[in-house]
Structure 1
């Protein structure tokens, strides 16, 4: 069998497992979900599950990060470069996904919520790292400053979405973006920061 067919089969199986897991997460607690539940709903063998994931925790991490990554990919105007438009899309996508994540993780305990949020933040970190490495006018030449900016920015975006959900439940992602962009853009445009030294 050629590599392309194997890759397609792997992606399809992972997608089936991911979809089954997310359906189950909306129905019952993470602790109550078993690998048997997941494989039965996905219509795959248990051995197939273990070919792809060590346990349901690893599947949860994969499902959350893939779902957010796909949603983000469809929203970004230009996925490879930093721009205010991309930052706006990132913030709005985080806000929208935050609501979706709350729905999928409504039965999760604190440990599972932390795992979910860390997976989303990790995707944001990767996107920001790519942007800042490639974009002129940002911190492309200074890895330590870039890493700090990426860490602060990714958690700031997540924190803003969390704050907005608790304090402005009828607010929109676009409204949130307009409030947050001036803060984050000022930090990410490091020509200004570097010129102050």
Structure 2
């Protein structure tokens, strides 16, 4: 296979995945996720089920991919790359989660999120944190996966709960607070057994 053919295949793959994501996105505006089938998604994308399964294992994988791409776009807009060295990256991640939840739930946060959507958001946040931790500290013996999981739940949960607070404050204030709270947790990577 030539380089040009591989490049063409990558374009086709990206295009097909975008078509499937777009189809799911449109269906989510009309139905709850649980009511949507793979067949619905394939038909909306004007593709067959076999093509769907060539790209995604199931509709949950597609949902995570859709959430991940959107979230990555929000982070790219903020020029964020989490590398465990800078609280501004954490703040930007908080703002991106806030923006995404605002988009999904509305400004008042009254529209409930489906559990699958929440799991997808958490998975993306955890993956971003874990990738950053592993990339910059590949040989550490600290429990990076556990720390990334705890930090992702703390980050996401704090933003989600802020929608329920009567005096919510500005998203930037929330981002500052979350960064102050999570930075010590993420620093455990450098010193996994701090003295007490």
Q: Structure 1-normalised TM-score?
A: 0.78
Match in the other structure for 1:152? 150
Deviation of the 1:50 alpha carbon: 2.8
Residue 123 of structure 2 is aligned to residue 122 of structure 1: yes
Residue 14 of structure 2 is matched in structure 1 by 11
**Deviation at 1:56?**
2.6
Match of 2:91 among 88, 91, 96: 88
Q: Indicate if the aligned counterparts of 1:25 and 1:107 stay in contact, CA closer than 8 A.
A: no
Q: CA deviation at 1:26?
A: 1.6
Given that 1:81 and 1:130 are in contact with CA atoms closer than 8 Å, whether structure 2 keeps it comes out as no
Shift of 1:83: 0.6
Question: What's the C-alpha RMSD, in Å, of the aligned pairs?
Answer: 2.9
Q: Is the 8 A contact 1:19 1:42 kept in 2?
A: yes
TM-score relative to the length of structure 2: 0.79
Number of aligned residues: 188
Flag the 1:21–1:107 CA change in 2: closer, same or farther, 3 A.
Answer: farther
User: 1:8 and 1:183, CA in 2 relative to 1: closer, same or farther beyond 3 A?
Assistant: same
Residues 26 and 170 (structure 1 numbering): CA distance in 2 closer, same or farther, change over 3 Å? farther
Aligned-pair distance for 1:80? 4.3
Kindly state the Cα deviation for residue 170 of structure 1 after the two structures are TM-superposed. 5.8
What CA distance in whole angstroms lies between the structure 2 residues aligned with 1:27 and 1:107?
Answer: 15
1:39 CA drift (Å): 2.7
In 2, Cα distance between equivalents of 1:124 and 1:36: 29
- Aligned pairs (5 A) from 1:51-62: 51-62=54-65
Aligned to 2:159: 161
Offset, 1:156: 0.2
User: Distance between the aligned counterparts of 2:112 and 2:158, measured in 1?
Assistant: 23
The question of whether the paired residues in 1 share the 8 Å contact of 2:64 and 2:121 is answered with: no
Cα pair 1:81 1:134 within 8 Å, conserved: no
Q: Indicate whether 1:38 and 2:36 are aligned.
A: no
Q: Secondary structure at the match of 1:141?
A: coil
Cα distance in structure 1, aligned partners of 2:57 and 2:184? 42
Q: Which residue of 2 aligns with 1:177?
A: 175
- Tell me: CA distance 1:181–1:81, structure 2 relative to 1, closer, same or farther (3 Å): closer
SS of 2:96's partner is: helix
Structure 2 unpaired stretches of 5+ = none
Q: Contact 2:84–2:186 at 8 Å: present in 1 too?
A: no
Contact 2:20–2:42 (8 Å) recurs in 1: yes
What SS is found at the alignment partner of 1:27?
coil
